């Protein structure tokens, strides 16, 4: 990349380290950034530095936030009796977008994967167990880890851990997505949908 001047090269290199950003996209973004008004580039640079500098785990649900407690954990209007367990903050966001879930969350930041060497101690599971001991209002834990091998393993593990405490544990349904065309859906999903059939 000797044909680019040094600072452009540095910017392209830094951008291409981001996930899903290849070298062509990094070039396109870099040229966009340096061609914009200076204030736009400065706003982006300081948004990055600010967010990274202030981000921490919510003391209650472990999602990423810039306060001690995230907006959901600190909201008095959320139902304190239900905790939905998800793998990542983005999964929390996906359920929030539905606008239909009003309980709390717990973010594991990963899933158990023996293959990848990720055990129960590598995700935020101890924090969940501690919450169940201290938050007396909790009546149900909804496990919403992904429908992958790792997600299912994690769901089984958590379920076995929590059930003895007498707290209800549920798992989000797995099946044919709404609008999905049976013809194009994989066999495992089709079998899940069959097993999980509901009487009408």
Cα end-to-end distance, the chain, whole Å: 64
> Judged by CB under 8 A, which of 54, 165, 180, 196 binds a second copy?
54
Identify which of residues 41 and 161 has a Cβ nearer to a second copy in the complex.
41
Structure tokens belonging to residue 133: 């001991």
The reply on whether position 49 binds a second copy by CB under 8 A is yes
Segment 79 to 138, residues that bind a second copy, using CB under 8 A: 88-90, 92-93, 96
Identify which of residues 45 and 191 has a Cβ nearer to a second copy in the complex.
45
What is the b/e burial string over 132-155, where b = at least 16 CB atoms within 10 angstroms of the residue's CB?
Answer: beeeeebeebbbbbbbeebbbbbb
| Candidate ranges 52-60, 115-123, 128-136, 143-151; the one touching a second copy (CB under 8 A) | 52-60
| Candidate ranges 40-48, 113-121, 166-174, 189-197; the one touching a second copy (CB under 8 A) | 40-48
Interacting residues with a second copy (CB under 8 A): 1-8, 10-11, 13-15, 17-21, 25, 27-36, 38, 40-55, 64-67, 70-72, 88-90, 92-93, 96
């Amino acid at each position: 990349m000797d044909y680019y001047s040094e600072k452009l090269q540095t910017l392209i290199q830094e951008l291409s380290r981001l996930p899903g950003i290849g070298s062509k996209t990094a070039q396109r973004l870099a040229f966009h950034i340096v061609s914009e008004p200076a204030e736009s580039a400065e706003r982006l640079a300081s948004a990055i530095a600010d967010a990274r500098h202030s981000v921490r785990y919510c003391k209650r649900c472990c999602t990423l936030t810039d306060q001690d407690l995230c907006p959901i954990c600190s909201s008095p209007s959320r139902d304190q009796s239900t905790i939905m367990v998800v793998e990542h903050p983005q999964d929390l966001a996906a359920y929030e977008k539905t606008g239909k879930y009003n309980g709390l969350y717990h973010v594991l930041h990963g899933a158990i994967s023996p293959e990848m060497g990720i055990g129960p101690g590598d995700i935020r599971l101890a924090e969940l167990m501690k919450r169940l001991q201290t938050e007396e209002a909790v009546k149900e834990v909804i496990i919403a880890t992904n429908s992958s091998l790792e997600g299912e393993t994690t769901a089984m593990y958590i379920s076995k851990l929590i059930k003895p405490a007498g707290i209800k544990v549920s798992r989000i349904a797995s099946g044919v997505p709404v609008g999905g065309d049976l013809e194009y859906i994989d066999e495992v999903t089709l079998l899940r949908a069959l097993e999980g059939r509901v009487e009408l």
